[in-house]
Structures are given as C-alpha cells and as structure tokens.
Amino acid sequence: MNDNKTQVRVIIPASAEHIDLIRLTLYGIATKLGFSYETIEDMKVAAAEACNNAVLHAYGDHEEGEIEVRFEWDDDSFHIVVKDEGRSFNFREHADGREASLEGRPLQELQAGGLGIYLMQALMDDVQVSTASGTEVTLTKRLERNEVLT
C-alpha cells in the first residue's frame, strides 16, 4: 500500500440483512470522492453481488461468519475488497489441485455459474479474485476525471 492510499474497513456478520450497511458506507465514501450518481449505483450493485456471494456460497445456512469489506483509494483508483473466510469457489474442486495457479487470474478464465460475477465485470473497470484463504474479490473503479480527492 503506497503512502497516498487511504483505507476504511467495515466488518459485518455474513447475513443478507447487513449488506445494506456496505451499500451505505460505499455511498458515503464514493460521494466524498466525487463519483457520479450512476457510477455509485453501479458500484453498489457490484459490491452487493460480491457480498451476496459470500452470504450464500461461503458459509452454510447455520454457520457463523463475517464479511470484511475494505474500501481503498489513492489518486488513481478506488477499490472495494470483499473478503470472506468461508468455503471458496467451486472451481477449486475442478482444478485438480491447481488452485494456486488460479490466483490473481482474470475472472473470465474461471468456470463461473451465475450472473453475479458477470454483473461485477460489466459494472466495474476490473475484477480480481483470490482464493488463498476463503474468497477475496477486488472490485476496481478508476477515479473519474473531475473527482476531487478530500
């Protein structure tokens, strides 16, 4: 993390009712950074999809778990990092133990089932996944030209 980077972390219980807190925090930070209303709405949808995946796929129905969301930004870009410590992506089971080599690869190379990941890719400038421990999804948006950093 370079010196100009700011980080805000929010940890929520992994349940659907708490995802609103991520949307609200994201709204606050993205507004402060000067993102347009449309871009903020797009980022809210993408972040909610990542959180939903953690709620639905990482932890079982009766398992306790947490989702950590880090908001990180510098002069160039804004990152939303959604991390869980639950079961990881199904593709690991199909990867014949090659999961380490999947680390950091673009998501389009991974076997993904539903719409959530495609939506994240469509709405953000970049989407990366790490499965080193649980799942960590990094959603990136470049700062828009006339955004003023405070």
Strands (E), 33-150: 66-73, 77-84, 126-130, 135-142
The verdict on 89 binding ligand ATP (CB under 6 A) reads yes
| Angle in degrees, CA 84, 10, 49, rounded to 5 | 55
Q: Which does 127 bind (CB under 5 to 8 A by kind): Mg ion, ligand ATP, none?
A: none
Residues constituting the chain = 150
| Closer residue to ligand ATP in complex, CB, 41/85 | 85
Q: Which of 25, 135, 139, 143 binds ligand ATP (CB under 6 A)?
A: 135
Minimum CB separation of residue 99 from ligand ATP in Å reads 12
Could you say which residues in the range 61-120 bind Mg ion, by CB under 5 A?
116
Minimum CB separation of residue 89 from ligand ATP in Å reads 5
| Closer residue to ligand ATP in complex, CB, 57/141 | 57
Which helix (DSSP H) or strand (DSSP E) does residue 39 occupy?
Answer: helix 37-53
Minimum CB separation of residue 119 from Mg ion in Å reads 8
Identify the CA nearest to 72 among candidates 26, 114, 34, 105: 26
Asked if 79 and 139 touch (Cβ cutoff 8 Å), the reply is yes
For residue 84, which phi and psi values (nearest 5 degrees)? Answer: -125, 165
- List contacts with ligand ATP (CB under 6 A): 49, 53-54, 57-58, 84, 86-90, 112-117, 135
- List contacts with Mg ion (CB under 5 A): 53, 116
